[in-house]
Structure 1
Amino acid sequence: MKGKYYQTPIYQLLGGKTNDHLRTYASQLQYNWGAHIEKERLLTPEDYAEVTRKVMNEGYDALKFDPIIFSNQADGGGNWHTTGPLTTQVMQTTYDRVKAMRDAGGDDLDIIIDMHANTDTTAAIQIGQLLEPLRIWYYEEPVSPLNPDNTLEVAQHVNIPIAAGERVFTRWGFRELFEKRAIKVVQPDLCLCGGISEAKKICDMAEIYDINAQIHVCGSPIATAAALQTEAAISNFVIHEQYQRALNENDRRTCIHDYQPENGVFKVPDHPGLGQELTPETIAKSQLFTVD
């Protein structure tokens, strides 16, 4: 509201613009990519090679996906356990999917691996060491970050930078991860960490420990706009997340601005406040509450 009152973007209220053109990665490609795709299951190495070519043709030079979330069988069956010592089948399937992306994308593509905290320390270390030769840019949530010692254990055994933050709350929740040197990329979620001001403080705090920052984004066009405003103002910004769902045309029609990256880069909006508004049609479909 203050941004609208003063007719200025939120990034000005956070100290001013440090970044204007935000490098962006295509996120969650295990669900495929495109404006008319809800969620699919990509299973084969050929699927992953094809989706890599698809996003690179749109100008992206970085992507993220979860290579272990789906069994290699269409019905989800088989011996597919992602904790404890992993089977050869799980290890080989994971490696083949990532290798297909590396081969399709070439040396100039940055690949981020997201485990969604579905692996434990044993499995996460196995997968991390397996993927090291494929030059992974960073390794997101290999274990739950709510036990910082587990994240640190993975970091000490895997030669890939560790990222985490979407499940962590406030500066106090991040403090131990920073002090233990457990992560190299912090990813606060604006809806969970305590809001925009708290996220800015978390990112500034991370910089003291040589930790880079990106905002975790998997929500609506409102969430994207808020992330862009925050990332514009942080000096340790590394990259912006463009979630697969952000291409969905129904979601994009809920707001008056359709912010999308061009050639893998977001331009920071200069409209007042968040720089985003719900459309009258969206408001009309919503439940309205008055708070006295």
Structure 2
Amino acid sequence: MPTPSLITKLEVFRVPPRWLFVRVETQDNLVGWGEGTLEGHTEAIEGAYADLRERFVGADADNIQDIWQTAYRARFYRGGPVLMSALSGLDIALWDIKGKKLGVPVWQLLGGKVRERIKVYGWIGGDSPSDVVENALERRQQGFTAVKMNGTDAVSWLDSPSELLDAVQRVKDVRATGLDVAVDFHGRLHKSMAKQLAKLLEPHQPLFIEEPLLPTQPEEIADLARAISTPIALGERLFTRSDFRPYLEKRALDVAQPDVAHCGGISELHRIAALTEMYDVALAPHCPLGPIAFAACLQVAVTSPNFAIQEMSWKIHYNKHPDEAAGLEADLHTYMSNPSVFDIVDGHVAVLQGPGLGIEINEGLVRETSAKYIAEQKPWRNPVWRGEDGSVREW
């Protein structure tokens, strides 16, 4: 019988720019890292980890699926962004431990690879889209062949059509650089405006349009899918296989974007990949987050036949701290001891070969930075947008 790896410690670290890392240690001195980031809700996740710590310190880390099922099913209320994000970080850390214990990458434990490299895309432009051509050219120099950009700033329920024309021009300009471009509507547009913008963009062949409507609107998104040829992507605000079900059954979805730090970790991301493959839907995991979440996505991407492209947060605008004088900015590579494993060549990163997640986290830096961050800065919060009449608009 193999020796159990009992969990002895579960720690969480709040680190800039807006991430929450999870460290799990076992009695045989194995350490796994996870990421349970839920942007703008850090304290809620930290509270959820107090519960998980009480439940699973002393459990056998080898029993990943039993721990997952217990965390998800063994309480009356389940699902949702907070509980699933906390479970995600724990699950990722347990897979990291399992791979390290057996001396193999996680993707080997998921059935082995079906591809030799993984296509990635980078962000251009921020929430007020400008200078996108310059940013696109920078991304080309960095090795990307595809990018994503926000389509619009804040838009009201029914706004001037002129609000949409600038978005169309920016897409045309970026396409002229030779890059493929996805357009993120960010759920900012309501139906009357979203269907106009989707039609206007269609001749320019975006890679996909993301969250054209809020994820509360599966019927309306299905209607839009029938009206345009552009692929529709969404999923960052869906948290389980069950949440994806209505979109799949209504044929509302072309590209699934579950977020490994929100949807239940590697375990559930792998299951969502298999489910969406059955509906001929591509997999493009959402990940504007840290290196642990990115590495976890890559493990699933290697094994999933329907994987298409992976979001990569290197130099994304979210990684810039609003107070540069605070000295607490961080980027994708900051907390890694082996950042070269994320090098981009011809729009792709290599399959990770190291055991577990295949990345090495600088634990000393994480501990030092987390202590400084907690002492000196409040957790990240997204802005609240209001229209010219003072009413709240979607961010």
TM-score range relative to shorter protein: 0.7 to 0.9
User: RCO higher in 1 or 2 (8 Å CA, sep ≥ 6)?
Assistant: 1
Q: Distance in 2 between matches of 1:280 and 1:53?
A: 35
Q: TM-score, normalised to structure 1's length?
A: 0.83
Inter-CA distance 140–61: structure 2 relative to 1 (3 Å threshold)? same
The answer on whether the counterparts of 1:255 and 1:282 sit within 8 Å (CA) in structure 2 is no
Shift of 1:144: 1.4
Aligned to 2:121: 25
Shift of 1:120: 1.4
| Structure 2 unpaired stretches of 5+ | 1-96, 320-328, 372-395
1:35-90 CA distance string (max 9 Å, x none): xxxxx8542xxx22222222123332211101202xxxxxxxxxxx5243331320
Q: Distance in 2 between matches of 1:257 and 1:264?
A: 20
Aligned to 1:120: 190
The answer on whether the counterparts of 2:234 and 2:253 sit within 8 Å (CA) in structure 1 is yes
The answer on whether the counterparts of 1:119 and 1:142 sit within 8 Å (CA) in structure 2 is yes
Aligned to 1:274: 357
1:153-202 CA distance string (max 9 Å, x none): 22122221100111001111111111111010001101111111111110
Shift of 1:284: 2.9
Q: Distance in 1 between matches of 2:297 and 2:222?
A: 27
Deviates more, 1:251-260 or 1:132-141: 251-260
2:140 is paired with a residue of what secondary structure? helix
The answer on whether the counterparts of 2:128 and 2:152 sit within 8 Å (CA) in structure 1 is no
Q: TM-score, normalised to structure 2's length?
A: 0.63
Tell me whether 1:257 sits opposite 2:338 in the alignment: yes
Aligned to 2:62: none
Inter-CA distance 60–264: structure 2 relative to 1 (3 Å threshold)? same
The answer on whether the counterparts of 1:121 and 1:153 sit within 8 Å (CA) in structure 2 is no
Q: Distance in 1 between matches of 2:185 and 2:200?
A: 14
Q: Distance in 2 between matches of 1:238 and 1:125?
A: 25
Shift of 1:264: 1.5
Aligned to 1:55: 139
Aligned to 2:161: 88
Inter-CA distance 279–132: structure 2 relative to 1 (3 Å threshold)? same
Deviates more, 1:232-241 or 1:144-153: 144-153
The answer on whether the counterparts of 1:162 and 1:182 sit within 8 Å (CA) in structure 2 is yes
Aligned to 1:136: 206
Aligned to 1:37: none
Shift of 1:275: 1.2
Counterpart pick for 2:292 among 222, 226, 242 = 222
Shift of 1:282: 2.1
Amino acid paired to 1:256? S
The structure having more radius of gyration, on CA atoms, is 2
Shift of 1:253: 2.2
1:204-233 CA distance string (max 9 Å, x none): 110111101011111111111111111111
Q: Distance in 2 between matches of 1:17 and 1:266?
A: 14
The answer on whether the counterparts of 1:22 and 1:239 sit within 8 Å (CA) in structure 2 is yes
1:270 is paired with a residue of what secondary structure? coil
Tell me whether 1:65 sits opposite 2:149 in the alignment: yes
Deviates more, 1:138-147 or 1:174-183: 138-147
Q: Distance in 2 between matches of 1:148 and 1:88?
A: 24
Shift of 1:246: 5.8
Q: Distance in 2 between matches of 1:16 and 1:148?
A: 34
Deviates more, 1:204-213 or 1:16-25: 16-25
Tell me whether 1:239 sits opposite 2:312 in the alignment: no
Counterpart pick for 1:172 among 242, 245, 262 = 242
Inter-CA distance 83–255: structure 2 relative to 1 (3 Å threshold)? same
The answer on whether the counterparts of 2:122 and 2:316 sit within 8 Å (CA) in structure 1 is no
1:201 is paired with a residue of what secondary structure? helix
Inter-CA distance 198–278: structure 2 relative to 1 (3 Å threshold)? same
Identity of aligned residues (%): 34
Tell me whether 1:209 sits opposite 2:282 in the alignment: no
Q: Distance in 2 between matches of 1:210 and 1:250?
A: 37
Aligned to 1:77: none
Q: Distance in 2 between matches of 1:16 and 1:266?
A: 17
Inter-CA distance 163–231: structure 2 relative to 1 (3 Å threshold)? same
Q: Distance in 1 between matches of 2:159 and 2:361?
A: 46
Q: Distance in 2 between matches of 1:85 and 1:191?
A: 34
Aligned to 1:158: 228
2:134 is paired with a residue of what secondary structure? helix
Tell me whether 1:15 sits opposite 2:111 in the alignment: yes
Where do 4+ consecutive residues of structure 1 move more than 6 Å?
Answer: none
The answer on whether the counterparts of 2:129 and 2:151 sit within 8 Å (CA) in structure 1 is no
Counterpart pick for 2:173 among 100, 108, 111 = 100
1:136 is paired with a residue of what secondary structure? coil
